[in-house]
Chains A and B, each alone.
Chain A
Amino acid sequence: MLIIFFIVSTVFGAIIFFAKSKVLSRLFFATFIVFQIALCIYAYLHPDMEDSLFYKFDSLGVLLTIVLTILSISTFYYSIIYLERKATKAKSESTYFAALIMFIAAMTSANFTENIALLWASIEATTLFVSVLIFHERTKDALEATWKYLFISSVGVAIAFIGILFMSIIGSKNGLSDLNFQNLATAAHNINTIWLKISFLLILTGFSVKLSLFPLFAVAIDAKTVAASPVNALMSTALTNVGFISIFRTYTIVAHTDALGWAQNILLLTGILSIFIAAIQLTRVKRLKRMYAFSTMEHMGIVSLGLAVGGIGYYAALLHIVFHSLVKAGLFYQINQIHALYKSKWINDFGGFFKISPVAGLSLLLGFISITAMPPSGLFVSEFLIFKALFIKNQIAIALITIILLTAIIYIMAKSFLRILYAPKPLNIEPMETFNSESVIPFILFGLVIYLGINPPLFFTDLIHSAIAVLN
């Protein structure tokens, strides 16, 4: 099934790339989306089914792919708006869509793959395709960011690969021919944990590029600064989720060995460091997109804390990553209009958004409440659960530091958001056409998060529970 899907998407990508026609590209992309949805449903209906050699429809994959699909639909919509606004030429538009298809396909493969090496390969693929998207605007900044992103990701992926090699050592010691996660997990029992530790360390470091987590957080932020906002919406949600999956799956291998405590400490360390750095960098941030990027980093830090403490922390981490994806995507969709309106990326040029386009302003306000994890936002629930877990596991110091940092972050973000919404409107901007249609999807996404937080439906919680079943 998946093989077919990949073939189809490659073909589509190729067609779009070479056809160089707006109509065709959009048409094919739409059909691709349909395929994607079909795949989702298929995967959801066949839980834990082995598929085409290296793949398996496990709950985590399904969950995150559903998120990916939802977001790719909306991204398609906003990409069209974005490209229209920029009056893009057919050529570059076709490149854009081709890359987008391949990007999504690669992420799908990363979500579902069972084999660590293949996971690695697909992540590498995402790097290549996403850099095309980052470079889409062809500006100096874009060039710089793309270079940095490409280079650091390549190095990071290389580092991760060493980790995978070590994993393969573990495999070979138990006479494994392949590198399936489950087999590795079973193999991991009877082995000197030092291998495990080092490989986990290397993989974490390598894939921290994708997860925009300490230590290799920086380039992802630069990339998000220049990329088109719909692409950002995918980069800081679906792509980070891919990074998360890679860490999560590696973690499942470690989880049943003596190395668990060690791994937890490492995750706690990276988590708290990420939150700390995000907090302090936010005091300097001047571009809205960068602010969002750093907030992504902060949330990923929280997620890794959740993963580290275990218990309800696992559940909370997954909950958090899903909610964060939805909210952050909604915010990035909003940016699209803000930039178009003020013709600037700098927060200081914004102001009076609420007056100029009330509905969008309202959605932005809701977005602010949601992203800063204030009730009723679902993120509050997940964060709350993570804190609870931290306290139960007696990580009080970590919890308190995190709380302080989060408060600081809320303060900083509140300043920027309220500036955009309420500060006196800059003189040079002329009122342009209303955006209300554009604000619908963010409203839906934020509303969805609130609903899922307050009263999660059964299938949702079941997915999460079965996803974390491997851990405990």
Chain B
Amino acid sequence: MGSALEQNLRAITIADRLRAEGISRRGFLKFCASTASLMALSPAMVPAIARALENARRPSVIWLSFQECTGCTESLTRSHSPSIENLILEQVSLDYHHTLQAASGEAAELAREMAMQENQGKYLLVVDGSIPVKDGGVYSTIAGITNVDMLNEVAAGAAAIIAVGSCAAFGGIGHARPNPTGAMPVSEIVTDKPIVNVSGCPPIPTVITGVLAHFLTFNKLPELDELGRPLTFFGQSIHDRCYRRPFYDKGLFAESFDDEGARKGWCLYRLGCKGPATYNACATTKWNQGTSFPIEAGHPCLGCAEPDFWDMGSFYRALSIPTEDTTRTLVYGVGTGAVLGAAAAAMARSRKSKAKALHYKVSVSDLEESS
């Protein structure tokens, strides 16, 4: 019905929309500066962003939630009463999100199918949650459709996929040992589409919007690391950008949660901080309106933005500690070594006593001169 108008609205650029709302060029530049900051791009990129937004069009977004806890959606919607993020979100057409949309039941599924039809090959697919594939995928279904089937169906017509949260990106807690539902990340099911992984449990809301902003601005996906994560947010580790890093460099560590070091804000490495091996933007973007992040609150980084962080040993044991029980290996090793050593020693001793029995007695006759 209103789709003609809708089409028209989509046809105009973001800059036009802002101008239509009576926002000055200065305001637009401010918007661009905020967007650059949001995307963690250098302020030098502002002119390029401005140029791009002049021409950017409003994409359709379909959001699928699978085996998940809604934490990712919560993170996004409960972030700072969204402002710039909100502006960005206003620039997309969120056509299906089963937690956020008003429609339910068949109407909801219809909205999804319509959005797919109308934007075939152009819409953006956002996924949160892992996809269970064991036993034909029966462990999670929506409207009687298994998650795997729905993902495959929706992904087929998508321009790109954003896997939001560690579950969609890497399998997350569903994928943790023993993985009873055969949970899989999006990237293991869909292999023929560009996928951006915005990992984290939950992911940083501004990172989600930052990726959307990037897609919106440049109409392409940002540069990714080897795990498919946008480099602008995941290019440096928590440790690299941690304000406690100088304490690590000096060798000053908290050894318990209430010792002198903890009170003085020393490095949390010994308390199990996974910051050195965790790539995410928490240390600079921070949480709760940029207030703080776990390490600033005195808790070690769990490494939630990394694959299988649930299975990397205790959250409270240092990164340098092996993930398996080395003491046990050591004890069994000594035992096995003792048994084998005893056998080897017995062989050596018998060889030696045999040699003694075969002793060749040197006599004067052996001393004939050789020449």
Q: Do A and B actually bind? A: no
